[in-house]
């Protein structure tokens, strides 16, 4: 007796279809799973057997062979409990009907037959739609996650018995189809607001520019200057995610944890501690999972105390910053996770933290300060377009009551500049000014002699690298967009220079330009 | 390494551990005759004086320390200058304890005419750096050699500026000639060899010990007629140099700074106790009128001052830039203050500040605080 039905497995952020084939024959009673099963898949034999018996069905005392096809991709996780159980029931003629052939299944079984959640449901739902299936059977507890994908009916069952009931006919299945009732309101941001930040005008302005053009930014300042406070609020001035972005972000989060039962509408803000492992930051593992950089997809990755991160971790950021995705290769296949994030790095100016502070004296020798920055310089610093200093507030400013400009106002300006950028990049595969390539920058220089002369003087004076010059131009484009100016003007470039040569108040310029 | 006497002295210092002070004593007793001095020591140590044949450059000494020192000198393309030799600066010979041997790279030291030292703190402010560059550059433009200690901060700023001009510069090390200290000054070090000299009295392979630097400072002041202290904390190496200079009967100048700046404390204390306040190159030259008639005359009509360019730039300022420039005094002002009191919008203020910074009229002094340079 042969039977087959469809299920899925995960490869990075995407799912692929897996066919669960079963053959029940006479012979010594046995239950084998083939097709590169992992430990969790092999253990599913015990769960399936108990679940079937405890749901009141009969577990055939025959030789059972299960094949997970394609057989050359390693399968891990508890996705296949439900499909295997149903295929056993179907192959032993305990259930029938045509619905089972038009459906696909995913779910982990408890010994008592109830269905438990699994990771990556939303990716699978998308794939199920692409495979032109009518019904997708999912665990009830996370059904909401799958329901955000339109064009497929989500069947949510509590246990194996309900699943069997749903499969018995079109009429019965209606009872179990999941309907998403309460869609949350658009853009209800409830995090910290910029109005709490007093002073720090320069840093706030810089963050506004950085968020508008998605420029990576480094905040440099002594302890207590409010770097963390500023960074935490940066996410509050980012425009809300649109639906496709929401689904993309939710996909990543559903790979990371099982119980994502909502659509993630807020921009992610990830703030990993500096002791984070390589795997935790970049992603990986024997069964690869997304790391912090992917969890910050479409949002902010804030690395506080950037200097405390190990040099290896900082170097590891290079490729993801450039490619906007990370590919993790294992011997059987490659997993790819998107990671289009904006980086905010916060750092003290030296070991003791007070270099350049005017009230507290720095106790580091100049050599120590240089050593401190040596770790930072090089390719990663090159990818950080803006460096801004944040000074400690004088006491008189600190106790002032009253609010500064609110995040809502800033967000409106940011939104407008992003609209302008969308207009500019229509039909191209980039979204923000920070992703502009050298060809476009050269075109600007060609068109405008005035800025060409200015940038020449500046790059000569500050001994800028080619990448430094390009990044100044990109930032000045964003400043022009914030002003809704068609062309880049001198003043825009001069302001952009300011954000590149910051922290330069020392003999040799501790930050490499 | 053609000079027999230098090698003989090197041998005495490395293998026989003769104390330099003892050598100087005998040297003075012999009325500055280096041959007699050497003969005395070699007879005392029952050794054969080297260099019977003038032609042969090899010597008969075999001590391992001596051999090593010679090979390091050759490897580093350095050379030796002993106290009895022509080219050893006369002015240095006159100090209380002149170095017996100078290891050097670059030929400037042998024809160093008139020298002035520019010294100061390693952790200097933007103002101090600017002042050091101004003084170094203009002294050198007049043909005066700038002597300093090659340290980061004031020293290297002054020397960098002096390199490009006529006078050149001499750097005095606190370690062996084969060691580049501080290592970040490697490129400056190499430039100085071309248009100046690197000099040390320490034997090759001497590490840059803390105690070496005060000893080294006596050579800096000894080589010069005057010492200009640009920025110095209350307890600083530059203060030690100026004390040495006084003992050696040299002029001491101090560049004043802000009364709020702790790095100017040392300079101000010097001025209080009688050092000459140096505002311009003229202040320095005035004291040397007896030595350098020629130089003084030359400087009267030279273009050594670049403040004209700056004042022209200031006169040409308009609008936001003028507003911001006028508000920023010599005491640092933060961006928040500038925005509040000038009535400029934040982005206007930022742009004005950036363009003033590019013109080198102001400088970010500490975080987000700006002060005038001119």
pLDDT digits (tens, 9 = 90+) for B96-150: 999 999 999 988 888 878 899 999 998 888 888 889 988 998 888 888 899 999 9
Identify the CA nearest to A372 among candidates A254, A512, A265, A270: A512
* Mean pLDDT (whole number) for B36-54: 73
CB–CB contact B364 A504 (8 Å): yes
Q: Which of A482, A494, A509, A510 to mutate to test the interface with B (most CBs of B within 10 A)?
A: A494
Compare all CA atoms of chain B with the CA of A461 and give the residue at the minimum distance. B358
Q: What is the DSSP string of A255-320?
A: HH-TT--S---SPPEE---TT--HHHHHEETTTTEE-HHHHTTTSEEEETTGGGS-HHHHHHTHHH
Number of CB atoms found within 10 A of residue B85's CB: 16
Q: What percent of chain B has pLDDT over 70?
A: 90
Using DSSP bridges, classify how beta strands A14-25 and A63-69 pair: parallel, antiparallel or unpaired: antiparallel
CA dist A191 to A187, A195, A257, B97, B374, Å? 11, 12, 22, 71, 46
- Side-chain half-sphere CA neighbours of B257 within 13 A: 29
pLDDT of res. B199: 94
Query: Which chain B residue has the Cα nearest residue A349?
Result: B367
Compute the count of residue pairs across chains A and B with CB atoms less than 8 Å apart.
Answer: 87
| Domains parsed from chain B with CATH numbers | 1-75 (no CATH), 109-305 (3.40.50.450), 308-372 (1.10.10.10)
Q: Report d(CA B176, CA B216) in Å as an integer.
A: 11
Q: CB distance B367–A358 less than 8 Å?
A: yes
Give the span between the Cα atoms of A407 and A235, in whole angstroms.
Answer: 9
Q: Taking CB atoms and an 8 Å cutoff, what residues of chain A touch B260?
A: none
Which residues from B are below 8 Å from A417, CB to CB? none
Contacts 24+ apart (CB under 8 A), A169-175: A169/A97, A169/A99, A170/A99, A173/A99, A173/A135
Q: Tell me the domains of chain A and their CATH numbers.
A: 2-174 (3.30.230.10), 194-430 (3.40.50.300)
Residues of B in Cβ contact (< 8 Å) with A390: 367-368
Residue A427 has pLDDT above 90, yes or no: no
Q: Going by C-beta distance under 8 Å and a sequence separation of 6 or more, which residues neighbour residue B201?
A: B99, B100, B101, B102, B103, B215, B216, B219
Whether B46 shows a pLDDT value over 80: the answer reads no
**Do residue A507 and residue B124 have CB atoms under 8 angstroms apart?**
yes
What pLDDT was estimated at residue A31?
94
Question: Mind listing the pLDDT tens digit for each residue in B138-187?
Answer: 888 888 899 999 998 899 999 999 988 888 899 999 999 999 888 888 88
pLDDT of amino acid A480: 94
What contacts A393, CB < 8 A, 6 or more positions away?
A198, A199, A200, A225, A226
Residues A61-89: what's their mean pLDDT?
Answer: 92
Nearest to B347 among A205, A391, A394 (CB): A205
DSSP β-ladder status, A108-109 and A115-116: antiparallel
Q: SS3 for A113?
A: coil
- Residue identified by tokens 């020449």 is A456
Residues of B in contact with A479 (CB under 8 A): 347
Rounded-to-integer distance, Cα A193 and Cα A214, Å: 19
Which residues on B lie below 8 Å from A224 (Cβ)? Answer: none
Is the CB of residue A481 less than 8 Å away from at least one CB of chain B? no
Instruction: Give A350's contacts in chain B (Cβ within 8 Å).
Output: none
Question: B367 and A357: CB-CB below 8 Å?
Answer: yes
What does the pLDDT read at residue A183?
59
Measured in residues, chain A has a length of: 513
DSSP state of B111: G
Residue of A nearest to B154 (CA): A507
ipTM confidence: 0.71
* Token reading at B9: 């002295």
Which of B187, B348, B366, B373 should be substituted to probe chain A, the one whose Cβ sees the most A Cβ atoms within 10 Å? B366
- B54 has a pLDDT exceeding 80: no
Contact assignment for A201 to B339 by CB distance below 8 Å: yes
Chain B, nearest residue to A458 by Cα: B358
Give the mean pLDDT of B65-81: 88
Confidence at residue A511, expressed as pLDDT on a 0 to 100 scale: 46
Please give, one letter per residue, the 3-state secondary structure of A170-233.
HHHHHCCECCCCCCCCCCCCCCCCHHHCCCCHHHHHHHHHHHHHCCCEEEECCCCCCHHHHHHH
B335 touches chain A (CB under 8 A): yes
Interchain proximity A391–B369, CB inside 8 Å:
yes
CB-CB: which of A457, A502, A507 is closest to B153? A507
Closest by CA to B100, choosing from B208, B8, B185, is B8
Pairwise CB contact (< 8 Å): A358 & B366: yes
Cβ atoms of A46 and A124 closer than 8 Å? no
Tens digit of pLDDT for each residue in B341-364?
A: 888 888 888 888 888 887 778 877
B354/A201 CB distance under 8 A: no
DSSP assignment string, B299-328: HHTS----HHHHHHHHHT--HHHHHHHHH-
All residues of chain A having their beta carbon less than 8 Å from the beta carbon of residue B347 are 205, 479, 495
Tokens, residue B220: 């800096």
Searching chain A, which residue's CA lies closest to the CA of residue B128? A507
Distance from CA of B313 to the nearest CA of A (A): 17
Chain B CB within 8 Å of residue A205 CB: yes
Tokens 């990818």 identify what position?
A383
A22 three-class SS: strand
- The residue-averaged pLDDT of B311-317 equals 80
Label residue A502 by pLDDT band (50, 70, 90). Answer: low
Q: How far apart are CA A81 and CA B323, in angstroms?
A: 75
Nearest to B178 by CA among B71, B64, B73: B73
> A392 to chain B: which residues are within 8 Å by CB?
367
Distance from CA of A391 to the nearest CA of B (A): 5
Backbone angles phi, psi at B281, to 5 degrees: -65, -35
> Kind of pairing, strands B362-366 and B145-148?
unpaired
Question: Is some CB atom of chain A closer than 8 A to the CB atom of B258?
Answer: no
> Bridge-partner residues for A445, per DSSP?
none
Query: With left for phi above 0 and alpha for psi between -120 and 50, is residue A224 left, alpha or beta?
Result: left
Mean pLDDT value across chain A: 87
Confidence of residue A260 (pLDDT cuts 50, 70, 90): confident
Mutation target among B320, B321, B359, B368 for the A interface, most CBs of A within 10 A: B368
- Mean local confidence (pLDDT), A17-43: 92
CA dist B372 and B331 (Å) reads 8
Q: Please check whether residue B118 touches A, CB under 8 A.
A: no
Which pairs with CB-CB distance under 8 Å and at least 24 residues apart come from A225-230? A225/A200, A225/A390, A225/A391, A225/A392, A225/A393, A225/B367, A226/A197, A226/A200, A226/A390, A226/A393, A227/A304, A227/A346, A227/A347, A227/A390, A228/A304, A228/A346, A229/A192, A229/A196, A229/A197, A230/A197, A230/A200, A230/A203, A230/A204, A230/A390
- Judge whether B208 is closer than 8 Å to chain A, CB to CB: no
Residue B141's pLDDT is what?
A: 82
A390 and B368: CB-CB below 8 Å? yes
Distance CA A332, CA A25 (A): 32
Q: Which of B122, B358, B367 sits opposite A221 (nearest CB)?
A: B367
Indicate yes or no: CB of B367 within 8 angstroms of CB of A199: no
Is B336 in contact with A505 (Cβ distance < 8 A)? no
At residue A508, the pLDDT reads 45
Cβ contacts of A461 on chain B, cutoff 8 Å: 358
Task: Determine, for residues B332 and A358 on separate chains, whether the beta-carbon distance falls below 8 Å.
Answer: yes
Give the integer Cα–Cα distance in Å for A248 and A90. 35
Query: Nearest CA to CA, how far is A498 from chain B (Å)?
Result: 6
Interface check for B184 against chain A (CB to CB < 8 A): the answer is yes
Contacts with B, A 346-385, CB within 8 Å: 349, 356-358, 361-362, 365-367, 370
User: What letter would DSSP give residue A6?
Assistant: E
Structural tokens at position B297: 């005359």
CA separation, residue A203 to residues A210, A501, B28, B95 (Å): 10, 14, 67, 56
Across the beta sheet with A217-220, the strand order is A269-270, A300-303, A342-347, A217-220, A386-389
**A505 with B346: Cβ contact below 8 A:** no
CB contacts, 8 Å: A205 with chain B: 346-347, 350
**Contact assessment for residue A436 and residue A475, using Cβ atoms and an 8 Å cutoff:** no
How far apart CA A504 and CA A512 sit, in angstroms, is: 9
Work out the minimum CA distance from A313 to partner chain B, whole angstroms.
27
Read off the tokens for A72. 């050359």
Q: What is the pLDDT of residue A400?
A: 66
CA distance B281 to chain A (A): 23
* A281, two tokens: 């930051």
Does A389 sit within 8 Å of B336, measured CB to CB? Answer: no
pLDDT above 50: residue A318: yes
**Contact between residue B129 and residue B160 where contact means Cβ atoms under 8 Å apart:** no
Q: How do residues B224-238 score in pLDDT, each as one tens digit?
A: 999 999 999 888 889
């Amino acid at each position: 007796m042969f039977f087959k039905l469809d299920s899925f497995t995960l490869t990075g952020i995407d799912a692929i279809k897996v066919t669960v084939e079963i053959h029940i024959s006479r012979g010594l009673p046995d239950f084998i799973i083939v097709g590169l099963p992992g430990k969790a898949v092999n253990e599913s034999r015990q769960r399936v057997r108990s679940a079937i018996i405890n749901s009141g069905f009969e577990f055939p005392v025959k030789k059972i062979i299960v094949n997970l096809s394609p057989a050359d991709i390693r399968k891990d996780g508890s996705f296949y409990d439900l499909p295997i159980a149903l295929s056993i029931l179907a192959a032993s003629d305990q259930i029938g009907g045509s619905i089972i052939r038009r459906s696909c299944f995913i779910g982990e079984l408890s010994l008592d037959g109830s269905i438990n959640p699994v990771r990556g449901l939303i990716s699978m739902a998308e794939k199920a739609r692409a495979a032109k299936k009518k019904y997708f059977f999912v665990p009830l507890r996370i059904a909401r996650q799958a329901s955000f994908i339109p064009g497929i009916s989500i069947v949510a069952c509590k246990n194996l018995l309900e699943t069997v009931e749903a499969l018995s006919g079109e009429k019965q299945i209606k009872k179990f189809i999941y309907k998403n009732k309460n869609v949350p309101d658009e853009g209800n941001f409830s995090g910290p607001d910029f109005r709490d930040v007093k002073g720090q005008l320069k840093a706030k302005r810089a963050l506004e520019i950085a968020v508008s053009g998605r420029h990576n930014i480094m905040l440099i300042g002594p302890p207590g200057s409010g770097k963390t406070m500023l960074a935490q609020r940066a996410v509050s001035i980012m425009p809300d995610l649109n639906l496709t972005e929401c689904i993309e972000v939710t996909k990543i989060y559903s790979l990371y944890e099982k119980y994502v039962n909502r659509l993630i509408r807020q921009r992610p803000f990830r703030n990993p501690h500096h002791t984070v492992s390589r795997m935790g930051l970049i992603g990986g593992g024997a069964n690869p999972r997304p790391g912090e950089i992917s969890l910050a997809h479409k949002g902010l990755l804030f690395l506080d105390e950037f200097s405390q991160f190990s040099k290896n971790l900082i170097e590891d950021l290079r490729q993801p910053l450039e490619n906007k995705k990370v590919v993790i290769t294992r011997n059987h296949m490659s997993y790819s996770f998107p990671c289009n994030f904006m980086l905010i790095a916060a750092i003290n100016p030296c070991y003791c933290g007070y270099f350049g502070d005017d009230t507290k004296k720095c106790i580091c020798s100049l050599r120590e300060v240089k050593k401190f920055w040596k770790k930072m310089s090089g390719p990663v610093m090159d990818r950080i377009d803006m460096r801004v200093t944040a000074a400690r507030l004088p006491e008189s400013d600190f106790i002032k009551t009253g609010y500064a400009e609110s995040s809502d106002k800033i967000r409106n300006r940011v939104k407008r500049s992003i609209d302008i950028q969308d207009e500019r990049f229509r039909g191209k595969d980039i979204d923000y000014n920070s992703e502009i390539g050298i060809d476009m920058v050269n075109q600007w220089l060609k068109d405008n002699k005035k800025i060409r002369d200015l940038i020449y003087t500046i790059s000569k004076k500050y001994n800028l690298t080619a990448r430094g010059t390009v990044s100044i131009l990109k930032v000045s484009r964003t400043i022009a967009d914030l002003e809704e100016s068609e062309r880049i003007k001198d003043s825009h470039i001069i302001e952009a220079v300011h954000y590149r040569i910051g922290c330069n108040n020392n003999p040799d310029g501790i930050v490499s330009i | 390494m053609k000079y027999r006497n230098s090698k003989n002295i090197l041998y005495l210092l490395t293998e026989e551990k003769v104390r330099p002070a003892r050598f100087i004593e005998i040297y003075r007793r012999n009325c500055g005759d280096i041959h007699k001095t050497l003969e005395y020591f070699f007879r005392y140590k029952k050794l054969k004086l080297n260099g019977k044949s003038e032609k042969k450059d090899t010597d008969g000494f075999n001590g391992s320390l001596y051999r090593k020192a010679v090979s390091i000198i050759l490897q580093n393309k350095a050379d030796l200058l002993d106290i009895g030799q022509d080219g050893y600066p006369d002015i240095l010979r006159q100090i209380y304890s002149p170095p017996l041997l100078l290891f050097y790279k670059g030929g400037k030291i042998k024809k160093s005419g008139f020298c002035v030292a520019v010294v100061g703190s390693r952790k200097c402010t933007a103002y101090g750096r600017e002042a050091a560059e101004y003084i170094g550059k203009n002294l050198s433009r007049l043909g005066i050699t700038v002597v300093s200690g090659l340290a980061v901060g004031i020293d290297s700023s002054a020397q960098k500026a002096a390199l490009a001009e006529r006078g050149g510069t001499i750097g005095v090390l606190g370690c062996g000639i084969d060691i580049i200290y501080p290592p970040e000054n490697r490129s400056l070090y190499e430039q100085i060899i071309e248009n100046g000299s690197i000099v040390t009295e320490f034997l090759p392979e001497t590490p840059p010990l803390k105690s070496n630097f005060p000893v080294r400072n006596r050579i800096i002041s000894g080589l010069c007629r005057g010492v200009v202290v640009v920025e110095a904390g209350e307890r600083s190496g530059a203060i030690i140099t100026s004390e040495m200079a006084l003992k050696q009967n040299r002029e001491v100048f101090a560049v004043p700074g802000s009364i709020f700046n702790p790095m100017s404390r040392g300079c101000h204390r010097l001025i209080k106790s009688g050092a000459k306040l140096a505002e311009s190159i003229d202040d320095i030259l005035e004291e040397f009128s007896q030595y350098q008639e020629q130089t003084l005359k030359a400087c009267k009509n030279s273009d050594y001052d670049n403040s004209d360019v700056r004042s022209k730039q200031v006169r040409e300022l308009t609008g936001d830039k003028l507003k911001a420039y006028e508000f920023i005094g010599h005491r640092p002002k933060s961006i928040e203050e500038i925005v509040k009191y000038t009535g400029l919008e934040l982005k206007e203020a930022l742009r004005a500040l950036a363009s003033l910074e590019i013109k080198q009229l102001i400088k970010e002094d500490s975080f987000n605080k700006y002060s005038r340079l001119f």
